[in-house]
Chain A
Amino acid sequence: MARKKSVYGPIYRGREGQWSWILHRATGVGVILFLFAHVVDTAVVGWGPDAYNRVVAVYHNPFIQFLELVLVGMVIYHAFNGVRIMIIDFWPKASEYHVPIFYATAALFVAAMVPVTWIIGRNILEALF
């Protein structure tokens, strides 16, 4: 069966609000996908400490550690952006300042990611070299 072509053209050129929303959705899905893996790896403890340690050892793999860095980034973005959304929901004037609030959130995100990247990044480099 021929795939039906989209009736739409390229993505709508929305601005900060649209992209923060798309990122919020994407990071939300990313975090919940990790949560499934996390439920599984924690459940392995039911097979005893040896089984658990063997499974959890995967978190020493540098690639998985990189994914952990991405995960922490997603959690931090989702959390900060959630606070931004609440500010916009409850402070009437915030609608007029939503762009500066977005950039303030982005700055906080970057600031929070600096130590995280330092800590996890160092581990990755140590594991690699």
Chain B
Amino acid sequence: MAVTREPGDRTDAAPDETVQLLMRIRRYNPELRADPWWDEFTVDVEPTDRILDALHEVKWHHDGTLALRRSCAHGICGSDAMLINGVNRLACKVLVKDVMPKVTVEPIRGLTPLKDLIVDMEPFFAGYRSVLPFLINDEGEPDRERKQSPEERERYDDTTKCILCAACTTSCPIFWGDEEYVGPAAIVNAHRFIFDSRDRADRERLKVLSEKTGVFRCRTTFNCTEACPRGIKVTRAIQDVKRAILFDRY
């Protein structure tokens, strides 16, 4: 017999083990109330489900007005960064069994909340754009690829992994206080090109990052490094850029 599945239907007709997860979610809807409020939901989930699944459970079966961003749901698109039990995580990478029996979910901080878990990402992307996050090379178009040794590639390998989820930038106490600070993610993406042997615009980027809103706002709290879902050594990258500016080796 053919079974028609609707979005949100559980794909496991007979789950081995279902647990009840208490979810405290910070809600915000300026059309209803001026201030944010907390909602609580008890959802039936499996221990191996992710927080994202639990949020889907809420949205699809409890309260359809819950607003959240997510796209790939597999830790690559970087849409569903949120504050889970007080730390920035991707909802699609945290398992229910690791937070049982209850979990608190809030929007990421330092960016203006628009609705529930959705924030205005524009200041984040403005910081990202300001460091010219693309290859700049004025030596004319080569007739074949620009060669690079494994060592030269290794130099910036760590910072190529960024998915722009904003978990690092919105875990930074300095960024909470000052949206003008370009933030860890922008510096990570600047690092990716500053230390790329094929790129020629490191001076321009270092100029942007040596300004008042640049790398020297960093106070090495390491919140960014601990928040990164890709395991990028964010603070290390920021420190690399600080030293590059200080010693003008580039």
The interface of chain A, by Cβ under 8 A from chain B, is: 4-5, 7-18, 20-21, 85, 88-90, 92, 95-96, 98
Contacts and interface: CB of A to CB of B under 8 A. Distances in A.
Interface stretch (B124-132, B183-191, B204-212, B239-247): B239-247
Contacts of B47: none
Given A12-B171, A13-B87, A85 B226 contact: no
B70 to A, nearest CB: 21
A21 B87 contact: no
Nearest to B88: A12
Contacts of A15: 222-223, 226
Interface of B is mostly: mixed
B119 to A, nearest CB: 11
Given A9-B26, A90-B243, A14 B223 contact: yes
B240 to A, nearest CB: 7
A18 B86 contact: no
A16 B226 CA distance: 11
A95 B239 contact: yes
B222 A9 contact: no
B235 interface: yes
Interface of B: 26, 28, 35-36, 83, 85-87, 104, 106, 109, 113, 171, 173, 219-223, 225-226, 233, 235-236, 239-240, 242-243
Contact of A12 (B86, B104, B220): B86
Given A9-B104, A16-B222, A17-B222, A95 B236 contact: yes
Contact of B113 (A7, A13, A17, A89): A7
Contacts of B235: 17, 95, 98
A89 B220 contact: yes
A7 B220 contact: no
B236 to A, nearest CB: 4
